[in-house]
Structure 1
Amino acid sequence: MRRDKILWSTVLIVSSLLLIGYSLWEYTISKNMNFRPYGSGFYGRGMMNRWFSPYNSQQNNGNKQKMSIEQIKNAVEGYIQGYGGSLEISDIFVFKDTDYYVSIEEKNTGKGAMELLVNPYTGAVYPEYGPNMMWNEKYGMHGGRGYGIMGSSMMRGSGWNRNYQDNYDSKQIERQEAVKIGDEYVKRSIDKDFSVLNEGHEFYGYYTFHVNEGDKPVGMLSVNYYTGDVWYHDWHGQLENIIEHDKE
C-alpha cells in the first residue's frame, strides 16, 4: 500500500512538472517567434487547447472585424474532422461580447456529441468548459474519445472514470423531467420570468436546454441525467442570434 502511494505521488509530481515545462516552452516559442500555439496556426490543436482557450473576444489578435458565420463553420468543421468525419454542426449561438457557442451532433445517431466555443475574431476552437468537460461521458474528460489536460490516458488512476462507467446507459432522469428540474431552478435561483424550454440536445450524461426570458432566448443550462444536478451556463453574456444548421 505504501509503495503504491509513493508511486502515484511520484507520477503526479512528474506529470505536473512536465505540464508546467511544456506550458513555459510553448509560451517562450510563441512570444519569441509570434506563433499561435493553441489556435489554428503552427501547432494546430495542441494538447492544452482541448480544455483551455488562449483567447477571448477582448483578445482578438489584432482583428477588429468578426468572422462571418461561414468562416466560423469552416473553423469548427476543421476541428471536428479529427473525429473521423462522424460529427456535424447542429446549431450556433452568436453572443455579442463573448465566444460563440456551437453544439455538435453525431451523424449516425443524431445525439449530441460535444459543445464547443469559437473565438469570432481568430477562429480558435476549443471545448466548452462546465458540463461538456465534466459530465460528457464519451467526448469529455471522463470519456474514451475526449482529451484531458495530459491526453486521453495520462494521470488516470483506477478510480478516475468509475462513476461514469458504472452508470453508463442507466439514465435516471428522462428529458421531460429534466426540463421541469431546469425550469424550477431558473425561476427559483435566477429570475421568475425565466423558463426552460424542451429545446436543446441530449449529450452523453446530460441534457443542455435553451433558457428564455419571456419569449426571448437568453442562454442555456444543463441537467445531469443521473443526478438531476443543474449547471447554468453563466459565462456567455448577451445572446444575439441562434443559427440552426439544418434550417438555413
Structure 2
Amino acid sequence: MKRIKWVLGLSLVGVLAVSGTAYALGSGASGMMGQTPQFIRTQNQVGISKMGYGYGMMGNYASSNGAAGYGGNGGGCGGVNNGESYSMMGGPYNAASLGINLTDGQVTTDDQALSLAKAYVQVLNQDLSIDEIHEFNDSYEVELNESKTSNKAFEFLIYKNGGYISSEMGPNAMWNTQYGHMNGRNSGNPGKPTVTAEQASKTAQDYVNQQMGTGYSIEQPEVAPGYYEFMILKDGKDFAELDINGYAGQVWFENWHGPMIKTINNGSTTK
C-alpha cells in the first residue's frame, strides 16, 4: 500500500501551496473508457512518482513533457491568525461577526458548527441550503446545495479556532463553473460536462485502487458544477474526498485537510 503523507503544522495557504493535488489523464477524457488512468504528478505532491502536467493550486505550472501547463490563479484564503478570510460570496466573517458565542474562542461542538454554517448562509442571502458538514482536525467543511434544484453549489470552511470562515480551495475554487472564484478559464456557460458519471466513477475507483490500496472504497458521485465529487471510505467510514473534472477528467485528491473525523448531515452525525 502506498501511504499518503499528511501535511501538518502549516497555515492554510501553506498547505494549499505545498500539498495541492491534481492529476490529469494521459490520454484525455476521450480515451477514458476501457483504459487504466495514468495519474500524473503536479507541483510538490507527496507520494506520487509519475510525471506530467496538471493544475497547480497557486501560481503557474508548466508540464514536464513539453505540453502547455495550466496556471493556478492567484488569490488567497485568510486564516485564523489575522482574522481575514475570503468567502465565496464576500467576507470576512467569523463567529463574533455572525453573533455566535464560542467557549474560549473555539468551535467545539457539532451544534456550534451547524449554527455558524446557518448564520453564514443567511448572510449570503442566497437560495442555498446546507447539505452536510465534514469535520476535520482543525476545521469543518460545509457543503451547500441550491434549495430550489437540490444541485450542489459550493463549499466553505469553518475554522475551529475562532470560527473564521473561508472558501474551500481546490476544485471548489478552480473547477466550479458556476461559483468558483478562480475559474477564469471556464467563465460563462461551458456546456454539459463531457465526462460521464460512469467514466468519473471508474477513474475514481482506479485511483483509489492504485494509489491507496486495500481497505478503501468510494461512494456514488455527487455532481458539482463542472466536476464530480466522491467520498472515499476507509473500512466503511468517511475518510476523504476526491474530485474528477467533468471536462478533462483530471483527478484531484483533497489531502490538505488530513483524515475526516466524521460527517454531520442536517445536524445529525452520520458516520
Unaligned runs of 5+ in 1: 1-18, 21-30, 50-60, 144-159
Give the distance between the partners of 1:69 and 1:62, measured in 2 at CA. Answer: 13
- Equivalent of residue 208 in structure 1, options 229, 233, 238: 229
Partner of 1:68: 109
Cα distance change of structure 1 residues 38 and 141 upon mapping to structure 2, 3 Å threshold: closer
Cα distance change of structure 1 residues 120 and 196 upon mapping to structure 2, 3 Å threshold: same
Cα deviation digits, residues 185-209 of structure 1 (max 9, x gap) = 121122243222115x211101111
In the alignment, structure 1 residue 107 sits paired with structure 2 residue 147: yes
In the alignment, structure 1 residue 243 sits paired with structure 2 residue 264: yes
Cα distance change of structure 1 residues 239 and 198 upon mapping to structure 2, 3 Å threshold: same
State the identity as a percent: 27
Q: Check the 8 A contact 2:215/2:235 in 1, yes or no.
A: yes
Letter in 1 for 2:135: V
In the alignment, structure 1 residue 119 sits paired with structure 2 residue 159: yes
Give the distance between the partners of 1:241 and 1:210, measured in 2 at CA. Answer: 12
Cα deviation digits, residues 130-180 of structure 1 (max 9, x gap) = 00010011111156xxxxxxxxxxxxxxxx44x4546x2321122232122
Give the distance between the partners of 2:123 and 2:248, measured in 1 at CA. Answer: 31
Give the distance between the partners of 1:193 and 1:169, measured in 2 at CA. Answer: 37
Higher relative contact order (CA 8 A, sep 6+): 2
Q: Give the CA deviation at 1:229.
A: 0.7
Q: Check the 8 A contact 1:67/1:123 in 2, yes or no.
A: no
Give the distance between the partners of 2:115 and 2:147, measured in 1 at CA. Answer: 17
Give the distance between the partners of 2:103 and 2:147, measured in 1 at CA. Answer: 36
- Equivalent of residue 176 in structure 1, options 176, 181, 198: 198
Q: CA RMSD in A?
A: 3.4
Q: Check the 8 A contact 1:39/1:124 in 2, yes or no.
A: no
Cα deviation digits, residues 23-61 of structure 1 (max 9, x gap) = xxxxxxxx9xxx844499xxx924xx8xxxxxxxxxxx9
Cα distance change of structure 1 residues 224 and 124 upon mapping to structure 2, 3 Å threshold: same
* TM-score w.r.t. length of structure 2: 0.58
Partner of 1:84: 125
Give the distance between the partners of 2:85 and 2:181, measured in 1 at CA. Answer: 18
Q: Give the CA deviation at 1:77.
A: 2.2
Q: Check the 8 A contact 2:107/2:163 in 1, yes or no.
A: no
Unaligned runs of 5+ in 2: 1-73, 76-80, 94-101
In the alignment, structure 1 residue 45 sits paired with structure 2 residue 67: no
More helix by share: 1
Any idea what SS the aligned residue of 2:160 has?
coil
Give the distance between the partners of 1:165 and 1:65, measured in 2 at CA. Answer: 39
* TM-score w.r.t. length of structure 1: 0.63
Give the distance between the partners of 1:172 and 1:128, measured in 2 at CA. Answer: 25
Instruction: Provide the aligned length of Structure 1 versus Structure 2.
Output: 183
Letter in 2 for 1:67: T
Q: Check the 8 A contact 1:75/1:124 in 2, yes or no.
A: no
Give the distance between the partners of 1:110 and 1:246, measured in 2 at CA. Answer: 18
Give the distance between the partners of 1:164 and 1:192, measured in 2 at CA. Answer: 39
Partner of 1:224: 245
Cα deviation digits, residues 82-109 of structure 1 (max 9, x gap) = 44230111001112x2211111110011
Cα distance change of structure 1 residues 229 and 235 upon mapping to structure 2, 3 Å threshold: same
Cα deviation digits, residues 57-90 of structure 1 (max 9, x gap) = xxxx994753322221222223223442301110
Q: Check the 8 A contact 2:130/2:266 in 1, yes or no.
A: yes
